[in-house]
Amino acid sequence: MNMQEATALDLDAEISAEAEIEKNETRDAVPLGAQAVRVEVPVDRMPADRRRIYQKVAALAKRAMKTSAEGENVAAARLAHKAWLLAPDMALTNHVLGLMLYNLGRLSRALDFFETAWKIDPKDAEIYQKLGLVAWKLDMLEAAEKFYRLQYKLAPTAVDAAINLGGVLRDAGKFEEAIEILRTAIYAHQENYELWNSMGTVINDSGDPIQARTFYEEALRLKPDYGRAHNNMANIHELLGEPELAIPHFDAALKDPADAMEEATMRHGRSMVLLAAGRIEEGWAANESRLNPNRAQATLFTLKAPFWDGTNPQQLRGKTVLLVGEQGLGDEVLFMNIVKDMLEAVGPDGELRIACEYRLMPLVKRSFPQAVVGHHMSANVEGRDVRVVPKLEDGADFWTPMATPLRAFRNTIDDYPAEEGFLTPDPAVQSEFRTQIDGFGSGLKVGILWKSLNMNARRSRFFSAFDAWEGVLRTPGVDFINLQYGKVADELELARERFGVTIHQPTDIDLKMELDKVAAYASACDLVLGPMNATSNLAAACGGKVWFIHARSSTWTLLGTDRQHWYPQTRSYFGKGFRDWDNTMKRVADDLAALAGAAD
C-alpha cells in the first residue's frame, strides 16, 4: 500500500465493520494483544520541525496503546489514526495504526499498515512479529514464514519468534524444521513453559502423541494453570483413547483461554470428548458450541427464521421446519439419521424442509418423499463457509442445523435406530451396477477407500498409509473395487506392481460428483472397507455392509462403544492408542479372510 492509497482509509467504516474472520486458528501463537510498540527513539539528531511532529505522534501512540490495553479499542484506533494523519510517512504511526486495526479484527487492513511500517523501517524486529501473525491468521503460510524468519534473524533470542515460526512451519507440515527451531530455543530458555508446549504441539501434529505428552507435562510442571497445555493434554488423552481423562484438562483449560477463538475451540473439543466418553446427552448439549462463530471451523448460517435449539420437540408440532445440512458431506449423511424423527415431530399438519448438499438431492428426495427437499448454498467469505438457503426458508417457523435435533432424539444408545439404513438408493441403478460388479470376477466384491480428499499435514494422521493395506489386499477370494474419489493412479499401480492385486475401477460413474450413483454402487458391493468419509457413510446409510477403519478407539461417532450405532449393520476396527495400523489392519485382514472363505 503506497501513501496515497493509505490516505483512503475510512476509519469509521473499519470501526463499524464486523471483525474479519480468521482463516487459521494460529494454535499456540504468542498473541499481540495491546503489547507495546517501541516509541522512544533518539530525537536529538532530528530537525526541529520533525522532532516536534515526532513528539506529538509519540504521545498519541502511547495514549492509543494505553487506551487499547484498557479495552477501549475504538477510542484507541481514533488516537492512532490521528497520529497517522500527522505523519503518514513514519514507521511508528503505521505500526501503531496497524496494531489498533488488528485489535478491531480488521486483519487485512492491519496488514496493509504493518507492511508500510516495514518498508519504512525494515530493521524493526517487532514489525515482523506482527506481519507474521496477521499473515498466519489469514492462512498465508509462506508469507508468515518469511516474516517470522526475518524476525528470528534480527532477534534470534526472542522466544515469541521461535514459537510463532515453529507454529507456522508445523501448519505447513515442515515438522523437522519446526522441531529444530524449538529445540534450539528450549536449550536457551529451559524454564519457558510456552516453548515446551509449542514443541509438544509440533510433535503431536507429526503423529506422535505419546512423545508430545512429555512436553505438555513439562509445560504444566512449569505452569500448572497454563490453559493451552491443559487443552493440548486433553487432545492427547482423546487421541490415545482416554476421553474421560481429557475432560478435567478441558475444564482446567477453560479457566485460562487466551482469547474468544481459543475458548470456542476448547468448548467444542470438550463436547467431542463427552460424546467419545459415552456421555451422550451432556455431549449433544455442549456440542452447540460448534456453532459459535468464534470457532474457526464453524459454518456461519444466514437465515431469518427463528432458530430451534433442539430442547423441546413439542415446539415443532404442526410447524414448518427447515433442517439445514452442516459440516462435511459425510457428517451431513450421518445426521440424516434423525430425519424420520423430525417428520414424526412436525406431524401430518406440519412440513419438514431439508436443505442438503445439492449432489444429495435425488437420494434425499427418494428417501423422504414426505419432505420438501432443496439445497443449501455456501460461499467462502474471508476464508469462512457462509451458508444460505434461498427460497426454502421462506415461511418457515423454525430452522435448525442437522446436528441440533440429536439433542432431542439421540440421548442414549437405545435411541439409535435398529433398522439397517435410512436412505434409499435407486434400485434400478443399483441392479445395473451389481451386474457391472459381478463382471470383475467370482470373489467377494469389496469396495475400498483409504484417504480423504482434504489431506493436509494435520488431517493425514487419521488415515492409514496405503502400504498398510497390503495384508488386506492380498486376501484370496476377494475382488477389490476402487471407491476412492480423487487422485488414485499411484495407489492402484502400487497395488498392481507390489502386491500383485488388481483394484477394479468402476465405469459410468463420477465418484466425487454423482453421489446418487455412488450410494447405489457402494451399497451394491458385498462389503465396503475404509475410514468414515462421504462414500462409506453413504454405503452404510443405504443399508450396505461397511467395516469402518479408525485411527483411534475414541472417535466421537462411536459414542463410547466399539461400533457405530448410527448404522447397526456395520463394524468398527481400531487398535490400541493412536495409529495402531498394524494391529488394526491385521484384524481387518483376518476377518475378511474368514468372510471370503465362508462365501466360497
Alpha helices in 223-311 (DSSP H): 227-239, 243-253, 260-276, 280-286
Q: What is the pLDDT of residue 1?
A: 44
Query: What CATH code would you report for 427-599?
Result: 3.40.50.2000
Residue 24 confidence (pLDDT): 77
Per-block mean pLDDT, blocks of 10 residues, the chain (600 long) = 56 77 78 59 58 84 87 90 91 89 86 90 87 88 92 88 95 95 96 97 93 97 97 95 96 92 94 97 97 88 94 97 95 97 97 97 98 91 80 94 97 95 97 96 96 56 75 96 92 92 95 97 97 96 97 93 97 91 94 89
Helix (H) or strand (E) holding 356: strand 351-356
- Inter-residue contact 417 to 498 (CB < 8 Å): no
* Pick from 326, 371, 321, 374: nearest CA to 346: 321
Task: Please write down the long-range contacts of 200-203, taking CB distance under 8 Å and 24 or more positions apart.
Answer: 200/229, 200/232, 201/27, 201/28, 201/167, 201/170, 201/232, 202/166, 202/167, 202/169, 202/170, 202/175, 202/178, 203/175, 203/179
> How confident is the model at residue 2, as a pLDDT?
47
Give residue 102's pLDDT.
86
**CA 528 – CA 397 distance, rounded (Å):** 40
pTM recorded for the entire structure: 0.85
Whether 110 and 9 have beta carbons less than 8 Å apart is answered as no
Tell me whether domains 3-226 and 427-599 share a fold.
Answer: no
Q: What is the DSSP string of 401-463?
A: ETTTTHHHH-SSGGGS--SS-S----HHHHHHHHHHHHTT-SSEEEEE----S---TTGGGGS
What are the grid coordinates assigned to 256, written together?
485460562
Q: Using alpha carbons, list the distances in angstroms from residue 518 to 86, 207, 370, 540.
A: 64, 32, 23, 12
Fold of 3-226: 1.25.40
Q: Among 37, 108, 28, which Cα is nearest to 68's?
A: 37
| Ranges of each domain in the chain | 3-226, 227-298, 302-411, 427-599
- What does the pLDDT read at residue 7? 47
pLDDT at 4: 44
Residue 454 has what pLDDT? 56
Cα 344 from Cα 433, distance rounded (Å)? 34
pLDDT of residue 384: 72
- Which CATH number applies to 227-298? 1.25.40
